[in-house]
Amino acid sequence: MRNSFSGFYGISEDSIGTIFTSGNTIFIFDANILLTLYRCEEETRNRFFEIWENIKEQCWFPHQVCLEYQRNRLKVVKDSRDALEKIPKKIKASINELKTQVFDGEHNQTISRYSDLKGELNTIFSRIENIVSEFSENHIDVRKGNIDFLKNHDVIRDKIDNLTEGRIGSAPTEQKVIDDLNKIGKIRYKYKVGPGFDDSTDKKESFYSFDGINYDAEYGDYYVWSQILEYVGSKPGSNVVYVSNDAKSDFYYKIEGKIRGPNESLRTEIKKHGAAEFLLQNVDTFLHHANNHLNARIDEAVITELTNASVVNATDFQSIKYKMNGKRGFEYPVGINHVHLDDIKNIEQIFPIYSEYQQRLNAYKHELDEINTAPLEELESLQGSGLMARKKYLTLHISHLKNLLDSLGNRMAYLQEAEAIQQLLENE
């Protein structure tokens, strides 16, 4: 059965070691991995480049990966710089809010009666503000300067250019190539064949053009995958290690909120095109295996930083749908399903529900935090009433989700106790 349904089977750790050390292995980094290098410290970035340098001759890059890197590079640079700018702004805003609460709140009359106390408090706040300013100048501004490739020469791109030289796949030669892929992609997405079907809705109205070829953004992941399949087909018997931080279900199979491995359709299809083995890994897993099998000796702190920098949230600030959508107003997330606790008869039923609600809670909390910390100038064009409605919606549903999670936890405890009692009775 394994030979007929190999896409459903995983790979042992020993086999992973063999793949990483084989000269017949192709390493492919997705565009999101290249862009991650703009979001981390210079030392961390250099350690990743060291690994890349050591396997450079075995690396290959689909043309679509490089095109997406080039198209998104400046936006990632700007986003990284803007994110750093928010830190001192947020700290200063918090200090001002605290000062208002202290001097204009319920303690105002008491403080006003003690001039020395008021002076001492002002001195404390002044010291804190000076510390923040000094920290911003010596640490935040330095980091901003190091990644501000909107004004300075992009040394990261120089390094990427060097490491990808001669290792990039060919571009589509005519519009028909992309048009045919679009038609196939539409059918694949209908039947949930990865990758890319999770992007279909969000990118359906996004289009772009490069070198005389017109592209539909919703099929971007499929363009990459089709180019990988074509390349693997020209090198039958090769192993493929594809490193990407796209954790959606069109790439990975998930159950109980945990990734169990690559989507079966990917493994089945790439093997059909001639690959001996296929590994789909995020940057965290790749670096740990590089340590184990390539003698990379990457510190855990470096792995953690690259992993954090690589996280691509569905609720990233840039993708939060603040803008009005025609006459429908804001596009709200899917509503929370009502849970009938009495219908849950065993613990196994709880896990997927609990995981879904926990993920949704984290997403809502992240989005609300992004709204609360967004610079005022980025919100000026928005309708205030709509934004407040959005915040109210998120706050309400965060509270609702917390209550649901508490109820699910209590139900889980009840079922565990009931099972324990039943087991005792059976033993007697």
DSSP for residue 209: E
277 neighbors 21 (Cβ within 8 angstroms):
no
User: 337-381, pLDDT tens digit by residue?
Assistant: 445 555 666 666 666 677 777 778 888 887 787 777 655 544 444
Radius of gyration of the chain measured on its C-alpha atoms: 26
Q: Which pLDDT score, from 0 to 100, does residue 270 have? A: 94
Q: Could you name the CATH architecture of 341-426?
A: Orthogonal Bundle (1.10)
Alpha-helical runs (H) found in 234-346: 264-272, 283-293, 300-310
The answer on pLDDT for 236 being more than 60 is yes
Q: How confident is the model at residue 317 (pLDDT cuts 50, 70, 90)?
A: very low
65 neighbors 30 (Cβ within 8 angstroms):
yes
Long-range contacts, stretch 334-338, CB < 8 angstroms, 24+ apart: 336/360, 336/397, 336/400, 336/401, 336/404
Q: Where are the domains of the chain?
A: 341-426
The answer on pLDDT for 136 being more than 70 is yes
Beta strand 25-29 with 239-243 is parallel
User: 375-397, pLDDT tens digit by residue?
Assistant: 554 444 444 445 666 677 788 77
User: 55-64, pLDDT tens digit by residue?
Assistant: 999 999 999 9
Q: Which pLDDT score, from 0 to 100, does residue 316 have? A: 40
Rounded to two decimals, the pTM is 0.68
User: 33-66, pLDDT tens digit by residue?
Assistant: 999 999 888 888 999 999 999 999 999 999 999 9
What CA–CA distance (Å, rounded) separates 46 from 194? 33
